[in-house]
Structure 1
Amino acid sequence: MKKQLRYILLFISAIGFAQKPMVQAEIDTTNIRIGEQFQLKISVAETINVIIPAMRLKGLEVVDSTRIDTLKNSLVRRYILTGFDSGAFYIPQQQIFVKNQAFLTDSLLVNVATIAIDTTKVKKFPIKSIKKEPYTFDDFKNYIYIILAILAIIAFWVYWFVFRKRKTDIEAPTYRALPPYEEALLKLTALDEKLLWQNNKTKEYYSELTEIVRGYIERELKVPALENTTDEVLEMIIAFKKSEAVDTSKETIGKLKDLLREADLVKFAKSKPLAIEIEDDRRDAEYIIGNLKPKPIIEKEDGLE
């Protein structure tokens, strides 16, 4: 009975030793010359949940690798390796995971030999001088962009300080050469052509409308109407009226007061007057310009008191 049990144990042990290992590494040669290539094959006796990490090497380099192939009940991956230094190099054990369990391959030795060169048969050539590459657009691209940017800036400043100033100098006297009343009417006509309030630019419309009226008062009465507030302008006009320095009526002063107050509400309180109210204010502005004038000075004739 003991003899039979011994035979059974020996048979089980033989079967265990004969089993194929889970992971295996093989190379097609163990000796290469510098720069030659050889093949490394890694086999895994399993096809499910297998992870083959990146190759870890020292002294050798991976030139290429193939996809993992499935052969019967195993996986195979091949690598093309080479070496550029002479000597003996080991391909270390590679760790491979199968169903979350780590397995190690055997380490393999590869000898890399140098190539013997017969210097007596090698033809010698003189040392050549360094040749410069021809210039391309990319060599000057950054400089061209910088020059274009500088030219654009110069053109902008020339336009701003020369042509624009000259244009302003030409256009400005067109109004200033006219009497205050005619200048104001001309500006009102130009304002109408802009169609500001018709295009939802009510704030800009009232700003220009009141600026025209204030500019007329400033030129005609020689007071700083453009710089003063609404109340200050009204106080000056009322004072001129009391001193009979201006030829106007209470209705004109009332229309001026309503126009300036309405403009302040639009500009600062975001008021939105109706179209009919805007048109009334436009007519009132022209009425004010036509009915607010300095009283003419009557010179006394010699000999009359």
Structure 2
Amino acid sequence: MKKLLFYISLFISAFAFSQSSIVKVEVDTTNIRIGEQFQYKMSVDETENVIIPKLENLNGLEVIDSLKIDTINNKLIRKYILTGFDSGAFYIPQQQVFIKNQAFLTDSLLINVTTVPVDTTKIKKFPIKGIKGEPYQFDDFKTILFWVLGILLFVGTVLYFALKRTQNNEVRTAEPLLAPYQEALRGLKLLDEKLLWQNNKIKQYYSELTDVIRHYIERELHVPAQETTTNGLIETLSDFNDTKSINTNKETIKKLELLLQQADLVKFAKSKPMAHEIESDRNIAENIINNLKLNITETSPEIKNIQPVIIVEKPTVKKPTVIIRVLLILLILVIVGLISYGLSKAVTLSNSLKQPITNVK
């Protein structure tokens, strides 16, 4: 019986020795600190039909990296990088390696993981840093932008209906074509109603005054007075007067010459006549129209063939009432206030995010 037990123990020892001699494991250190890495190396004295499994059941330890298998001196070597994040003693259990379909077990290894001593009484305290501000994005101002767009749309709608012009319906009225004399007197009357020279628009006044006279001469005497210079027009009228083609006198032609020269000085030389001179020129213009006519015995063909003319009157524009103007001003003030409020809030929020917290001692 004793011999049998001896042979059994001898067989087990020989088998274990044969396994340990074929598969070996080792580490570069058995004592590490928390988070420190160490190397676990597995060597196999065979190169064919060898299966090296993954490390498993590592309680308290973690595999950081598994290096590729190397072949050195007819040996397969595989290295692992391990670490531990909990203090204590941890075993790397036996690993099973298959060689030619036969299982071999490695030795288990003990790894001690220790903590790093920290003296909290000597650590310098730093203030808590403020939250770092992020760059502005569309979502930060989306609500304010939608409000502003809505208010602008509302204001635009109110303005559209408040300032909407009347329908562009042209009012057509038929009036007979006025004779040159009547048209000239009407032009002088309309010019008086404009009150141009009373509002210091002397240049415009003389320009329209001479236009009335030239247009009258052009229609009454059939002379291109609008395109003719002052000297050319006076020479033409003098020739007509010499041939008795027009019913006037030299004094009227002289008054016309002086009036046109005065208008040229106002328009081109920036002359500014006195009020009594302007009123005198107005009366002279009417006197010229009264004393400058075509010398004919029959009615002018132009007057015979009078045709009605269609005068198109522009529709009147309704001005906004005082209430509408006040409402528009209030709406504009509300919009400006909302925009200012939103911008001030955004600036305040940005400054609060950028300021560090310094009340920690």
TM range (shorter): 0.3 to 0.5
TM-score where L is the length of structure 1: 0.45
Q: Which has the higher contact order (CA 8 A, sep 6+)?
A: 2
